[in-house]
Amino acid sequence: MLNFSFRRLPVLALTLAALFLSIPARLAAELVWTPGTGWTVVGGAFSGLLGTEGRNALDLMNQGRAAEEKGSVGSALSAYGKVAKRYPNSIYAPEALYRAAKLRLGRMEYFKAFEDYQGVVGRYPNSKRFSEIIGEQYRIASSMLDGARNRTWGWLPGFRNREKGIEFFEYILLNAPYSDYAPLALMNVARGHQKLRQPEEAIDALDRMINSYPQSLLAPDAYLKLAQSHSSLVEGPFYDQASTKEAVTYFEDFMILFPSDPNIAAAAKGLDGMKVMLAESKMKIGDFYLYKRSNFKAAKVFYNEAITAYPDSEVAKRAKLRLVDVEAGLAGKPVGPEDGKKKRFWLF
C-alpha cells in the first residue's frame, strides 16, 4: 500500500523546480579534453545522460578525439556523427558537431561543414562558441560566393556554386540578425545576386539593408549601390522610367544623408546621368506629339516636364527651343521638321 501524503506535494514541487533550475547549470558546463583522461565535464552537474547511454556517448567522444589526434579524419567524423545523432540532448552533442565541422572545413567540405555548424547554433543557441561559429559560417559563405569549390569525400571538387553562398548568408541573417555580421551578410547577398546578373534580387537585399540597419557603417555604400542597381535597369529614353526615378531618389538620398562621403562625386555623376535620361524621355514623348500627331497642347506639357526634370541641362535648352515650334503650331503657323531635318518626298 502506498504511503503518500498530499502534505508532501509542496516539497515535491520544490524538488522538481530545483531539478529544472539545475538544467541551465548543466548546459553551462564545459567539456575538457586531455590525452591522459579523455573528455571530462567541468562546471556542470552531469552530462545529460545517465548509465549506459552516458558511458556510450563518452566512449564515442573519446574515440573521435583519439582518431582526430591520429589524423584519421574519417573515423573521427563517424564517431562524432554518432554522438550528435544518438545523443542530441547531451552536453557532448554540440561539441561533436563543432569538431566535425572543423574537420570537414579542413577537407574543404564546405556544405557539410556549414551544416554541422548550423546544427550547433540552431539546436544549441546558448553555446559559448556561438559568435565563433557565426564567424566561421560567414567565412564559408564568402568562400562559396567567391567561387570556392565544395569537395565531396574530402577530395572530389564540385562545380562553383555561388547560389549556395547566398543561401548561407541568408542563414547567417536568421541565426544572428543583431550581430555585426548581419549587415555584412546582406551586402554580400546583394553582391552575389549582382554576380549572377539578378539586379532585382540585389535591389531587394540592399533595400533590406538600409531599412534594417540604417545606422550601420555600410549604409552609405548600400544607398549608392542601390542607386547604381536601379540605374543599371534603365534601358533608354524610349522605355518606362520607373527605374530612372528610383535611381534619382537614391542618388539624392545618398548625397543628402552622407554629404562628406568620398563617393559623393560618383553619386553626383550618376544623378546627372539619370536626370538627363528622365528629361530626355519627356523630350521623346513631346517630339512624338509635336511631329507625329500635331498635338501641340500635349507636346507643350511634355516639353515643360523635360525642363522641370533638369532645368540646367542641355536637354532643357532643346525643350525651350521646341516650345517655340509649339507656340507656332498653336498660332496656326507651319512647324518645321524634327531636329531641322529636311522632309523628303518620294514619287512612286
User: Are 323 and 300 within 8 A, CB to CB?
Assistant: yes
SS percent in the chain: helix, strand, coil, step 5: 70, 5, 25
**Residue 178 phi/psi, 5° resolution?**
-110, 10
164 Cβ neighbours under 8 A, 6+ residues apart: 110, 111, 144, 150
* 48-62, 90-104, 201-215: the lowest-pLDDT one: 48-62
DSSP string covering 140-174, please? HHHHHHTTPEEEETTTEEEEE-HHHHHHHHHHHHH
Q: Which of 174, 150, 172 is nearest to 160 (CA)?
A: 150
* Polymer length in residues for the chain: 348
Residue 46 pLDDT > 70, yes or no?
A: no
| Residue 97: strand, helix, or coil | helix
Q: What pLDDT digit, counting tens, does each position of 152-193 carry?
A: 988 888 999 999 999 999 999 999 999 999 999 999 999 999
State residue 50's pLDDT score: 57
Of 38 and 283, the structure prediction assigns the larger pLDDT to 283
Distance CA 224, CA 252 (A): 10
Whole-structure pTM value:
0.81
Residue 271 belongs to what H/E stretch? helix 264-287
Cross-strand bridge partners of residue 41: 31
The DSSP code for 293 is S
Q: What pLDDT digit, counting tens, does each position of 109-122 carry?
A: 999 999 999 999 99
State residue 73's pLDDT score: 95
User: Are 321 and 304 within 8 A, CB to CB?
Assistant: no
Average pLDDT, the chain: 88
State residue 51's pLDDT score: 65
**Residue 182 phi/psi, 5° resolution?**
-60, -55
List Cα–Cα distances, 59 to 38, 56, 90, 298, in angstroms: 9, 5, 13, 86
Average pLDDT over residues 35-47: 74
275 Cβ neighbours under 8 A, 6+ residues apart: 248, 309, 310, 313
Cross-strand bridge partners of residue 152: 156
